[in-house]
Amino acid sequence: MSVTERRRSSARRDSLLGDQPGAFASARYTRITPMKARRVVDMVRGLPVEEALDILAFAPQAAAQTVRKTLESAVANAAAENLDGQLVLSKAMVDEGPTMKRWRPRAQGRATRINKRTSHITLVVQQADVVAATKKKPVKKGQAD
């Protein structure tokens, strides 16, 4: 590849997918704490997209709406890359974003700090057959191939 040719994929895509087909979407600086968002993401990781969207539609957590929108965006990105067939939510990550520090007045002229945390939510969707092919069977101790 010459220097003048533009790379088709970004470094972010390479770190998430490598050379496998798939699509991803991320919601950055979301005003939900990472711990609360991880609870929701853990419910849908590894599920087919249709089932994950149904779970997120009826989940009572506040983060479910943001995760659902991000998943819909990842599915739209997959459609733009001509990925068809059964899609699976193969990777789902919630990273901590910057924390906004605020102050609350307390008794006797004191103040306490309030941390308003943010999250970066990243969801990766891939075709079901690609995910099944990349899963490795665990090798039991003492067994040789």
Which residues touch 129 (CB under 8 Å, ≥6 apart)? 85, 86
Which residues touch 123 (CB under 8 Å, ≥6 apart)? 24, 25, 26, 41, 67, 70, 71, 74, 89, 91, 92
Rounded to an integer, what distance in angstroms lies between the CA atom of residue 143 and that of residue 76?
Answer: 44
Q: Look at strands 119-127 and 87-96 and give their pairing.
A: antiparallel
Report the percentage of the chain scoring pLDDT > 90: 68
68-103, pLDDT tens digit by residue? 999 999 999 999 988 888 999 999 999 999 999 999
**CATH 3.30.2090.10 for domain 20-133:** no
